[in-house]
């Protein structure tokens, strides 16, 4: 399995656990709490990837760019999270 795919799968697992289990229980409809917990979950992804690739100098393909592990993890996490966050907050508005 490629490094990129491994990081993408890690990000997907963290995002889906966060939005389907953790955020509804701990943050509910409070945007500030979701933002705080999101900082923690994205930091978790970066920490896990850092434990494997810190100091390796590995370059990963992100679209048409070469990025190091940190930027690849952060950008891919953000891109993957946006549609899930829109779904989460869109569903919240219907509950009111």
Q: How far apart are CA 67 and CA 90, in angstroms?
A: 32
Positive or negative torsion for Cα 67, 10, 30, 94 = positive
Closest among 23, 6, 36 to 85, alpha carbons compared = 23
| Residues 84/15, Cβ–Cβ less than 8 Å | yes
Give residue 55's domain range.
3-91
Which whole number is the average pLDDT over 70-86? Answer: 93
- Whole-model pTM? 0.85
Structural domain includes residue 73:
yes
- The pLDDT value recorded for residue 22 is 92
pLDDT digits (tens, 9 = 90+) for 7-64: 999 999 999 999 999 999 998 878 889 999 999 999 999 999 999 999 898 888 888 8
Structural domain includes residue 60:
yes
Ramachandran area for residue 63 (φ above 0: left; ψ -120 to 50: alpha; else beta): left
Q: Number of structural domains, the chain?
A: 1
- Provide the mean pLDDT of the chain: 89
- The pLDDT value recorded for residue 92 is 57
Residue 96 has pLDDT above 80, yes or no: no
- The pLDDT value recorded for residue 48 is 97
Structural domain includes residue 96:
no
Structural domain includes residue 68:
yes
Instruction: State the pLDDT confidence band at 94, using cuts at 50, 70 and 90.
Output: low
Structural domain includes residue 28:
yes
């Amino acid at each position: 399995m490629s490094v990129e795919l491994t990081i993408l799968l890690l990000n997907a697992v963290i995002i889906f656990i966060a939005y389907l289990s953790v955020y509804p229980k701990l943050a509910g409809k409070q945007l500030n709490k979701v933002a705080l917990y999101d900082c923690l979950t994205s930091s978790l992804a970066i920490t896990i990837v850092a434990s494997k690739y810190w100091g390796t100098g590995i370059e990963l393909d992100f679209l048409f760019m070469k990025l190091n592990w940190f930027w690849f993890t952060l950008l891919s996490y953000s891109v993957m999270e946006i549609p899930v966050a829109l779904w989460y907050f869109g569903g919240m508005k219907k509950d009111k």
